Amino acid sequence: MRDGTKTKESIDRTSLRLFVEKGVAETTIRDIASAAGIAEGTMYRHYASKDELAWSLFSKNFTALSRELDRLQKEQPGTREKIEAMIRCFCTLFDDDPILFSYLCLHALHGQIGKMTPDRPHAMEVLIKVIDGGMDRGEITKGNPTVAASMVMGIVLQMATSKVYGRFDESMTDLADTIVAASWRVVGE
Amino acid sequence: MRDGTKTKESIDRTSLRLFVEKGVAETTIRDIASAAGIAEGTMYRHYASKDELAWSLFSKNFTALSRELDRLQKEQPGTREKIEAMIRCFCTLFDDDPILFSYLCLHALHGQIGKMTPDRPHAMEVLIKVIDGGMDRGEITKGNPTVAASMVMGIVLQMATSKVYGRFDESMTDLADTIVAASWRVVGE
DNA sequence: CTTTAGAAAGTGAACGTTCATTCACTAATG
DNA sequence: CATTAGTGAATGAACGTTCACTTTCTAAAG
């Protein structure tokens, strides 16, 4: 039996890049096929449709990221360490794979994230949970945990956005200490 | 001569709403015409193309917002007051017209904002300028003004995003004090 | 070791649909 | 009556998807 693993990987990486560069709707199957060096029909051996391709790329990776965040958070004893671990995870993901980060956290938010069923792990909910726990334990200023989590997430995501636009030169990991410190100033006791 | 002002306003509001609800690419001229109660050809009496419609809605309103932010900022003596005035402006815009806010600040970022020429007023640059000035005057902790501005902008925009998703009940104006306080904790001296 | 059958992957022209745009025509207004 | 707004069927291009066909690979049979 013929092995299509390499082809599928090529489809995944190429379409991820084009989806981020031009947007999902603006990327045609012909664009993907041409950039990946395959025929137009080949994608359909691996995905039922363009929609399924876009959704698979999002849901698989977003679920993995959310699980990883939850795993890292559980490893840490205190709330500050939990939040620091999560922020460093975002920074590392950005530096390692800015295209994937952009697709998951900056682009796909509208259109894909609305399809996430409530049962699946969700990065934002992990952060809310951590902050809620931190408030219970008195490690975080009492208040609305969703509001606090939104602010922390906002700092991280807008930093990534500015990095994408080339507004600063440091890597996200270089700035991780700064981001953690700022986030803690926002939510910390 | 016939007056098309009302029709144009109807096109503007209807397409703005649909662009935010479904995305620009996913909104067809038929969608707009049908929802606005006009014929398909009518839009072309007011805009040369769908692209021009999307761009006009963005650039006109984004420039107006950026100018307003700059005007408000100039009215204030201190850096804290400047930032507070700008954040309150974002909150008011959101509460008054969440659809316009979403189009300008949450959706159109990718696709439209890249077309902004550097000479035009740009909300982010106004904020960077204010923070840069605040650092010079010793009212803001010394550092990279772009990084500080990104964090403040991130707090505001992610709060708006969470509000769009219905993650909390308060209006943005209700939370303005909280947002200003958090932002100042991030950048303030 | 060689042959061969079957299964899955790869191909790309063709298909049907959808879409943005056009245009000849009509309606309104000054 | 001239000018601009409004109309909606028609147009052609672009797109996602299909499918009959080819290629490649595995493994069982000889």
* CA A157, A80, B187, B86 torsion-angle sign: positive
Retrieve residue B8's tokens: 């144009």
Could you tell me which chain B residue has the CA closest to the CA of A154?
A: B154
Q: Based on the domain organization, do B65 and B107 belong to the same domain? A: yes
Residues 20-39 of B with CB under 7 A from strand D: 38-39
Q: Based on the domain organization, do B65 and B34 belong to the same domain? A: no
Would you say residue A37 lies in a domain? yes
Would you say residue A112 lies in a domain? yes
We report the CATH number of the domain holding residue A86 as: 1.10.357.10
**Nucleotides on strand D with an atom closer than 7 A to protein CB?**
2-10, 14-20, 23-26
We report the CATH number of the domain holding residue B37 as: 1.10.10.60
Tell me, what DSSP letter sits at residue A115? G
Encode pLDDT of A99-158 as tens digits.
999 999 998 766 798 899 999 999 999 999 999 999 999 999 999 999 999 999 999 999
What is the distance in angstroms between the Cα of B10 and the nearest Cα belonging to chain A?
25
What are the phi and psi torsion angles at B173 (to 5°)?
-65, -40
What is the distance in angstroms between the Cα of B109 and the nearest Cα belonging to chain A?
9
Q: Which domain holds residue B21?
A: 1-46
pLDDT of residue A110: 67
* CA B127, B128, B130, B135 torsion-angle sign: positive
Kindly state whether B23 is in contact with chain A, defined as any CB-CB distance less than 8 angstroms: yes
**Nucleotides on strand C with an atom closer than 7 A to protein CB?**
6-14, 18-24, 27-30
Alpha-carbon gap, residue B118 to B125, rounded angstroms: 10
Could you tell me which chain A residue has the CA closest to the CA of B103?
A: A110
Residue B44 has pLDDT above 80, yes or no: yes
Q: Based on the domain organization, do A38 and A124 belong to the same domain? A: no
Residue A137: exposure state from Cβ atoms within 10 A (0-12, 13-18, ≥19): exposed
Encode pLDDT of A71-105 as tens digits.
999 999 999 999 999 999 999 999 999 999 999 99
Q: Based on the domain organization, do A131 and A61 belong to the same domain? A: yes
What is the distance in angstroms between the Cα of B1 and the nearest Cα belonging to chain A?
39
Q: Based on the domain organization, do A21 and A91 belong to the same domain? A: no
pLDDT of residue A135: 98
Q: Based on the domain organization, do B90 and B165 belong to the same domain? A: yes
What is the distance in angstroms between the Cα of B39 and the nearest Cα belonging to chain A?
25
Average pLDDT, chain B: 96
Q: Based on the domain organization, do B94 and B2 belong to the same domain? A: no
Q: Based on the domain organization, do B122 and B177 belong to the same domain? A: yes
Residue B29 has pLDDT above 80, yes or no: yes
Q: Based on the domain organization, do A62 and A90 belong to the same domain? A: yes
- Residue B33 near residue B39 (C-beta atoms within 8 A): yes
Q: Based on the domain organization, do B98 and B26 belong to the same domain? A: no
Alpha-carbon gap, residue B110 to A29, rounded angstroms: 21
Interface test with B, best of A151, A168, A183 (most B CBs within 10 A): A151
Encode pLDDT of B51-88 as tens digits.
999 999 999 999 999 999 999 999 999 999 999 999 99
Q: Based on the domain organization, do B41 and B118 belong to the same domain? A: no
CB nearest A110 (choices: B23, B179, B182): B23
Determine what percent of chain B is predicted with pLDDT higher than 90: 92
Q: Based on the domain organization, do B61 and B124 belong to the same domain? A: yes
Residue A2 has pLDDT above 90, yes or no: no
Instruction: For residue B62, give the amino acid letter.
Output: F
Kindly state whether A25 is in contact with chain B, defined as any CB-CB distance less than 8 angstroms: yes
Residue B121: exposure state from Cβ atoms within 10 A (0-12, 13-18, ≥19): middle
Interface test with A, best of B124, B131, B142, B155 (most A CBs within 10 A): B155
Residue B147 to residue A175, Cβ atoms within 8 A: yes
Half-sphere exposure of A89 (CA within 13 A, CB side): 20
Q: How many domains does chain A have?
A: 2
Would you say residue A52 lies in a domain? no
Kindly state whether A164 is in contact with chain B, defined as any CB-CB distance less than 8 angstroms: no
Residue B110 has pLDDT above 70, yes or no: no
Determine what percent of chain B is predicted with pLDDT higher than 70: 99
Encode pLDDT of A24-72 as tens digits.
999 999 999 999 999 999 999 999 999 999 999 999 999 999 999 999 9
